[in-house]
Structure 1
Amino acid sequence: MEGNIADMGQLIGAGLAAIGSGVAAIGVGNVAGNYLAGALRNPSAAASQTATLFIGIAFAEALGIFAFLVSLLLMFAV
């Protein structure tokens, strides 16, 4: 065995943290899908909900970016 158990745990943790990026993509799809469903039901109210759509997408994507940064920190931290 060339590596030690700490390196192995570090890489497993990085892989688990990277799952958050995939979950963020599901969250963005959820936000956009719910907006589209609401806009199709009531097209006159769709224009007023566009800002809420972008805020929801930004928050969901920010969580994905944070998960990606945590995985990078776990992979390359000393």
Structure 2
Amino acid sequence: MYDVLKDILVADLQVREEDVVPTATREEVGLDSLAVLELATALNERLGIEVHDYELLDAGTLADVARLMAERRPGG
């Protein structure tokens, strides 16, 4: 799921690829609250993953976001 997250961050949210590492926080990659909302929407529309923006805001690192995605993945 981490690679899928990375693809969305780079392609859709224009995060610099070199900034996207598992240990990075959302602040370190430049995701403000609006970008987090866009990420939640993208996860739902593209992957059918229902996750709220506040859950993404509470995730400590990108690895935590990927773990949440894996938990919420349909059939997962």
TM range (shorter): under 0.3
With structure 1 as the length reference, what TM-score do the two structures score? 0.27
> When you count helix as a share of all residues, which structure comes out higher?
1
Question: Higher RCO, 1 or 2 (CA under 8 Å, sep at least 6)?
Answer: 1
With structure 2 as the length reference, what TM-score do the two structures score? 0.27
